[in-house]
């Protein structure tokens, strides 16, 4: 049984992920900013921790990570101001990586998005630019870290029921994927350390998730 910390625990993907992990008998701690969300976390079987990554130092995060085997970043500013997007999606994410290293956490899973990267192609006058650049910077920092990282790049998210099937691979064009299936992909990656130092871009497709993921490692 692994000890897993999910940052951004009240997000739609994070709640689904926590339930899958606790159903598999893993010990899950989900970080939330709002104590009123604690009951929702408890319903998944996870333990809520009321912590604000935006204001936490590396040292504070490191103390909170004590004993964790895997950290999952699933937090985000949620389309707030550009300043807060940078503060959360880039700066806090990077601090959490440094904290994971300091705490001796071996693995780190980043929930990113399909187009993230230095060639994200979003023009500076587009409202999405700040988020795209923040995620690009955070992902790049993670890939240069000593952590056994995995970056997940789901395409456009939907709330449709999960299909249990995805497509992955080189040359894939962005399409769409359900949040249920993103959570299942994340859970599988968390449970299997063979995905260390791997980026997984994916859409809904025709291949069962286990088979699609096993084919890339």
Q: Which of 197, 198, 200, 207 is nearest to 182 (CA)?
A: 200
Q: Domain limits at 27? A: 3-214
Q: Where is pLDDT greater, at 17 or 217?
A: 17
| DSSP, res 132 | H
The tally of domains found in the chain comes to 1
Please tell me the distance from the alpha carbon of residue 114 to that of residue 201, in angstroms, as a whole number.
6
Q: Give the mean pLDDT of the chain.
A: 95
- Answer yes or no: is pLDDT of 79 > 80: no
Tens of pLDDT, residue by residue over 133-192, are 999 999 999 999 999 999 999 999 999 999 999 999 878 998 999 999 999 999 999 999
Quick one: which of 55, 41, 60 has its CA closest to 99? 60
Phi, psi of 23 (to 5 degrees): -60, -30
Above 90 in pLDDT, residue 22?
yes
Token match 């997984």: residue? Answer: 200
Residue 80 has pLDDT above 90, yes or no: no
Which of 204, 190, 198, 201 has the alpha carbon at shortest distance from 217? Answer: 198
* pLDDT tens per residue across span 179-216: 999 999 999 999 999 999 999 999 999 999 999 999 99
- Residues 111 and 82: their CA atoms lie apart, in Å, by 20
30 pLDDT band (50/70/90 cuts)? Answer: very high
Residue-level pLDDT at 170? 77
Q: How does residue 1 score in pLDDT terms, banded at 50, 70 and 90? A: confident
45-53 long-range CB contacts below 8 Å, 24 or more apart?
45/18, 45/19, 46/6, 46/9, 46/18, 46/19, 46/21, 46/22, 48/9, 49/9, 53/7, 53/8, 53/88, 53/92, 53/95, 53/96
The pair of three-digit structure tokens given for residue 40, joined into one six-digit string: 């929702």
Where residue 170 sits, what CATH number does that domain have? 3.40.50.720
């Amino acid at each position: 049984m692994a000890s897993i910390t999910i940052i951004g625990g009240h997000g739609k993907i994070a709640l689904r992920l926590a339930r899958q992990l606790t159903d598999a008998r893993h010990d899950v701690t989900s970080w939330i900013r709002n104590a009123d969300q604690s009951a929702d976390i408890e319903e998944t079987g996870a333990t809520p921790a009321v912590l604000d990554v935006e204001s936490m130092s590396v040292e504070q995060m490191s103390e909170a990570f004590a004993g964790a085997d895997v950290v999952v970043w699933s937090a985000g500013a949620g389309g707030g101001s550009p300043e807060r997007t940078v503060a959360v999606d880039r700066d806090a994410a990077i601090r959490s990586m440094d904290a994971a290293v300091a705490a001796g956490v071996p693995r780190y899973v980043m929930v990113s998005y399909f187009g993230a990267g230095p060639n994200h192609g979003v023009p500076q006058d587009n409202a999405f630019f700040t988020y795209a650049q923040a995620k690009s910077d955070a992902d790049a920092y993670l890939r240069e870290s000593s952590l056994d990282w995995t970056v997940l790049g789901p395409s456009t998210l939907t709330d449709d029921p999960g299909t249990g099937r995805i497509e992955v691979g080189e040359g894939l064009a962005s399409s769409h994927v359900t949040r249920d299936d993103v959570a299942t992909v994340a859970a599988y990656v968390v449970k299997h350390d063979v995905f260390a130092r791997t980026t997984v871009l994916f859409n809904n497709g025709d291949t069962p998730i286990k088979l699609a993921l096993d084919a890339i490692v």
